[in-house]
Structure 1
Amino acid sequence: MTLVRDCRFTSIDFESAGAARGRTDAPVQIGLAAWSPAKGHGGRFMSYLKTDQPVTWSARKVHGIGSEHLMDAPSLLSLWPDLKNHLAGAVVVAHGKGTEKRFLRAFPGHGFGPWIDTLLLARAAWPELPDHSLGALAENRGITAAVDALVPEKRWHDALYDAVASLVLLEDLIVSCGLQDLPVEGLVSPDTSTWHRLRR
């Protein structure tokens, strides 16, 4: 049984080209960041990603990534050694993990996980909040400054910034709900009644 305090958490975030009509979506940027209760924050990685799909106007309006950022970018598949180095043996974290899990299907049988979804955790821990988007949670919980300090050159909807924000949110949730000494499985499939008894 592995306790939360003994885990290494690695968050992952993708920004995408946007779903053009008749085409599936494709990733254009990846961000990874690591955190553990014992060692704190570190181990960051970011790369733009090569794609043969044009970035839609609506997607660029959100994240600011255009074809000029992707000209010499590596493919997602070519980054396998880097991804494996960051994700293997870690508890994987994402805010709304569906997109991240879908893009990682490029590596069949990768075995990364278990997965923790900070969107689901935040909804469970703070059901009274009207908005559980990552930016709204960071503002409500007062952690935006902590994220800014860790990645001062980045902003929202940059894959690295959002990956770091997911980890800072997870740290805040673990500390505020007193979850350090619980089994990590409690974050994967939480018993929220326990959380609310522990909440300070």
Structure 2
Amino acid sequence: MRVGETEFAAIDFESAGARKGSTDVPVQIGIATCTGAATNCRTALASYLATDQPIVWSAQKVHGIRQEDLAGAPTLLELWPQISSQMQGRWVVAHGAATEKRFLRAFPFHGFRPWVDTLKLARAVWPDLPSHSLGDLIGQLGLDGEMARLYPAYRWHDAVSDALASLVLLGHVIAVSGIAEEPAEILLRADDSHYHRAASLKGRAAR
């Protein structure tokens, strides 16, 4: 399968934040889907998630989600049929996928794969950019207009906004790299060693 023919599903979670003696839990999920060069992105799922664990102040400061926003929201388990229907058969996209992989461990046999990490791709394609956070990349690469077109209410650290932004970023990587006709596996072999070497040198120079 070529990159331009691949079905993608981007997923993002926002969390309650870590508390001493408890495990972090998700409080919002967003899933967006597209094909190929991400010109047909759409929101597939956007929901708060019920939890009996309080949202810590530091997490609320980042994403703005309040405990009262979760009133009447489904649990992650209750949403599982919808999550599975959107993710199965698609390549999974996330920007720095550790959090998403961790929360999906609630379903150990979900089988969602392969995973495409847009953080790793961005570091490989633009190693010298000052920041590789998702919001900064969208701004630095001039993709704010595309985000506004797809989702006028977008704001950073909102799960569906971040899921859509991951797809917009992926589409830009595909376009500027000219890899739409390449085998899709090329997305799994991004070499970001130049970025890490440069970061290491900067760290040594700052000592």
Instruction: Indicate whether the TM-score tops 0.5.
Output: yes
Larger deviation, residues 159-168 vs 20-29:
20-29
Tell me which residue corresponds to 1:6: 5
Query: Within 1, Cα distance between the matches of 2:80 and 2:57?
Result: 29
Runs of 5+ consecutive residues of structure 1 not aligned to the other structure = 194-200
Once the two structures are superposed, the pairs formed by residues 1-200 of structure 1 within 5 Å of their partners are 2-37=1-36, 40-190=40-190
Query: Within 2, Cα distance between the matches of 1:183 and 1:191?
Result: 16
Larger deviation, residues 35-44 vs 7-16:
35-44
Runs of 4+ off more than 3 Å: none
Q: Which has the higher contact order (CA 8 A, sep 6+)?
A: 2
State the identity as a percent: 54
Query: Within 2, Cα distance between the matches of 1:61 and 1:192?
Result: 31
Runs of 5+ consecutive residues of structure 2 not aligned to the other structure = 194-207
Q: Secondary structure at the match of 2:41?
A: strand
TM superposition score normalised by structure 1? 0.92
Query: Within 2, Cα distance between the matches of 1:149 and 1:22?
Result: 43
Shift of 1:43: 4.3
Counterpart residue type for residue 95 of structure 1: H
TM superposition score normalised by structure 2? 0.89
Counterpart residue type for residue 185 of structure 1: E
Counterpart residue type for residue 18 of structure 1: G
Larger deviation, residues 148-157 vs 38-47:
38-47
Aligned residues: 192
Structure 1 pair 132/192, CA: closer, same or farther in 2 (3 Å)? closer
